[in-house]
Structure 1
């Protein structure tokens, strides 16, 4: 495989992973832009390692036909085991805290570095150098790009007073999910409201895409029959 072919495939992996990651990031999912790029990049590195191995085995058989029977083993099995094992290591870097997930990019980078390590061990230096450059660019330079591109998240606190309906929480969860809004926390008030004793009060902390205006969210919430009042908490 020529150097320019490796570069094209790695670049395509970055583009494909970035496109999918953009869609996930836009919908406020935990695994977003850079995470998808790194996972796609690592998978591309792994598949090209397999191609390199097959090519080397074929050339060796051509030069030494007596080795044909000795090279029938699955030459990608060891690499697969390494990648699977590193997956558990990466899982240890993922933290779930108060409705948010942290450490996915770190986990993806660990997995990708493991793939590059396989390339280094097999002596695929062109693949190693180009893949390392790509990962470095993603981690160092794409962070600034990501911050500018996805600086579209508003953190809002909305106070909602609603009637004591059992499935109201589920209806609100479904509404926010349909709007692409992530609920971070829900705080329920245990104090009685003397003016509206039949209503319960909850404060929702949400992560809303910037293109969704806060007043639109409140207006839509007020259309629920069970909701007495909804307003933004400063």
Structure 2
């Protein structure tokens, strides 16, 4: 068993909280039902659980116990994501999928921070912000270019999906 020192623990938990919180800030700024605090807590809590699990492993190794902790986190986070989707549902519309995916991403970033894999955290965070920033304009342009089915919003029945 190798015990991590205070600066390493603070870095892993702090970066997990900041990275996941940054994703939450993006969601909050876009008026979505999940924000900085919620996703910051998701990142912090997952990193804390992974840190606990890796404390009992050889340095640089993920044990079976740590693997089970990670599996449990990823299973449980689905309930939080489902809550985001159901909370926003009205009629038969499915809304909040990107925020639910961001919840899953925040959990994954927490796991990766807990494992201390900084390069993976950096690349994942950059790619996430690229997707969140330019994803929708690219989707719209590709729909127009490729003749994809435009999503419609039927106010009377509450069916369909509307993109602002």
What is the TM-score when the length of structure 1 is the normalising length? 0.36
Bigger CA radius of gyration: 1
**Greater relative CO (CA pairs within 8 A, separation 6+):** 2
Q: Which structure: greater helix fraction?
A: 2
Q: Which structure: greater strand fraction?
A: 1
